Structure 1
Amino acid sequence: MDYQYPIDYSWSTEETIDVIKFFESVEQAYEKGITKEQFMDKYRRFKQIVPGKAEEKKLTGEFEEMSGYSSYKILQKAKTAEEGSKLSMQP
């Protein structure tokens, strides 16, 4: 990993850690898979910290630009996945 996670310096340490955990869950979906529940738990916490759509798009867009991993695509996959299923963006 040769990139940094997009963060807002107004967040608390706990919030920053939780946002990083969300981005790590996106990475996990692409690299080895993650359960729908694990991903959605991280996403729900991310949305508590970043409730606005514009800020969410800005942060996830920066992350995708740096990493190549789309949180939008994994979120769409999670929304249609069965409970208990594993999300994977591997080819």
Structure 2
Amino acid sequence: MEYQYPIDYTWSTDEIVDVIHFFECIEKAYENGIDRDVLLAAYRRFKEIVPGKAQEKTIFNEFEEVSGYTSYQAVKALKETSSGQKIKVAPKRK
């Protein structure tokens, strides 16, 4: 897909790369499914970079606007599954 990921230009290059990796994991959760532990590691790193709930919500909304993927649903599925399971998020119905 061709769109820009929501990033904060005050982040370091490594932080930007890690946030983009997290959003790529969200994409995989919708498209083909992703191992829960891979998504968990990416989310934990994302939370190190974006610790506040308000900023997280803003970034999730920006990502949904450009991609159509709801990060919240993928994170919710992450919290509802056990280690070693695959997460596959169903797209929103319009």
Q: Please indicate the TM-score interval, normalised by the length of the shorter structure.
A: over 0.9
Deviations 1:15-65 (A, max 9, x none): 000000000000000111101100000000000000011110000110011
Partner of 1:82: 82
Distance 1:89 1:76 in 2: 10
Check conservation: 1:36, 1:78, Cα contact below 8 A: yes
Partner of 1:34: 34
The number of residues matched between the two structures is 91
Partner of 1:62: 62
Distance 2:90 2:51 in 1: 29
Distance 2:36 2:67 in 1: 21
Q: How far has the Cα of 1:72 moved from its partner?
A: 0.4
Structure 1 residue ranges without an equivalent (≥5):
none
Structure 2 residue ranges without an equivalent (≥5):
none
TM-score by length of 2: 0.93
Distance 1:4 1:58 in 2: 15
Identical amino acids, percent of aligned pairs: 55
Once superposed, what is the RMSD of the aligned Cα atoms? 1.0
Task: Flag as ranges the 4+ runs of structure 1 deviating above 3 A.
Answer: none
SS in 2 for 1:69: coil
Q: How far has the Cα of 1:5 moved from its partner?
A: 0.1
Q: How far has the Cα of 1:13 moved from its partner?
A: 0.3
TM-score by length of 1: 0.96
